[in-house]
Amino acid sequence: MFSEFWIFLNLKNVFSFFIKIILFPLMKSAYNISSINTNSSLNCILFDSIIEDYYNIASIYDYNYTTIKIKKHISNKNNSLVAVLGILVNDFGLKIEKEMLNWLTPEYQIYKIYQKYPGTLYEYPALKFAEWLTEKKNISFLLYLHTKGATHKRLTSDKIIRKFWKNEFTKPRNKLYINQIINNKTDIATPLSNGIYTWYNGMYISKRAFQLNKIYPSKNRYLYEYLFENKKTRIKGIIAENCLQPWNYLNYYNDVIKDKRKIQNIRFESLNDLEHKFNNFYLILYLLLVYLIKLIMKIYNKKFLI
């Protein structure tokens, strides 16, 4: 009797260990998988619901990408300025789109470049279309932006950046940037904040800048953040107004980008793919443990309770 009681206590401890240390975390992981699948389905629905304008995607991108849609924003005003807005299609990315269109629409003709979540092409679709516009439509310069923060709902710094863009790229501030390009004093005009160019994601780009720097797809997400930083491209920084450093993590990017060779040699694998593999492993392990616990319970019931 005592031995049976001792076995029961040991089994209880084993079950307690499985439940607290292994089972609960695995259940949470499995829940995360279902959440990811739900969000992924929602993102696909959002992307598929976008009615795109007709463009020969193959001629623009060399490949007929199915994760890209292009639409010209309809405005009641005949604006002479052009903006290319890269948009990551998830619920938050589309909210940011509306936010940015509110202040872009009064002054710009806007081309919206939608990319299906999780955006593994990074900034390539929007920058490539901007290059195509300057070449095929003979546009001398344009404003390039994207929905900064579409993957980070809790980063308040991204909201600060968008407010910063609104201040710098609309009247009257934007004339300081535009005049530099119109007068052929520079190829790219960008805000200068705390002595650093803040042009990685928001800048006025001239046709000449695209002619000197061709846009091509890369798995290196940092490529597009220093693509124009070379001796042949002229970059003009305009001192930002009433703002010392709007990008509170800009120093991080700056430190990373200093070692360009190291970055270029890194082989980037999609974090989404890694996360998917990781979660699948835990889901399988979770199912195996559930089966094992049921089997142990079945054996225990037969041996000690009958």
Length of the chain: 306
Q: What is the pLDDT of residues 202-241, one digit of tens each?
A: 999 999 999 999 999 998 988 888 899 898 999 999 988 7
Local confidence pLDDT in tens for the 306 residues of the chain: 545 544 545 555 555 555 555 555 555 554 444 444 567 889 999 999 999 999 999 999 988 899 999 999 988 788 899 999 999 999 999 999 999 999 999 999 999 999 999 999 999 999 999 999 999 998 999 999 999 888 876 666 678 788 889 999 999 999 999 999 999 999 999 988 767 777 778 999 999 999 999 999 998 988 888 899 898 999 999 988 766 555 444 443 444 444 443 333 333 333 333 334 445 666 677 778 878 888 887 777 766 555
Cβ atoms of 72 and 53 closer than 8 Å:
yes
Q: Which H or E run includes 166?
A: helix 156-168
The Cα–Cα gap between 293 and 155 comes to: 42
**Predicted local distance difference test score (pLDDT) of residue 294:** 80
Q: What is the pLDDT of residues 54-104, one digit of tens each?
A: 999 999 998 889 999 999 998 878 889 999 999 999 999 999 999 999 999
The Cα–Cα gap between 298 and 156 comes to: 52
Cα separation values, 61 from 34, 65, 112, 168, Å: 34, 8, 16, 30
Cβ atoms of 70 and 55 closer than 8 Å:
yes
**In this structure, is the dihedral angle defined by the CA atoms of residues 91, 198, 131 and 105, taken in order, positive or negative?**
positive
Name residue, tokens 């959440």: 35
Burial of 10 (0-12, 13-18, 19+ CB in 10 A): exposed
Looking at residue 193, the DSSP 8-state letter turns out to be E
Cα separation values, 49 from 45, 146, 207, 250, Å: 6, 20, 33, 35
Q: What are phi and psi of 162, to 5 degrees?
A: -65, -35
The Cα–Cα gap between 239 and 78 comes to: 30
Contacts by 302-306, CB closer than 8 A, 24 or more apart = 304/4, 304/7, 304/8
Written in H, E and C, the secondary structure of 88-119 is EECHHHHHHHHHHHHHHCCCEEEEEEEEECCC
**Predicted local distance difference test score (pLDDT) of residue 70:** 97
Largest CA distance in the chain: 96
Cβ atoms of 46 and 87 closer than 8 Å:
no
**Predicted local distance difference test score (pLDDT) of residue 21:** 55
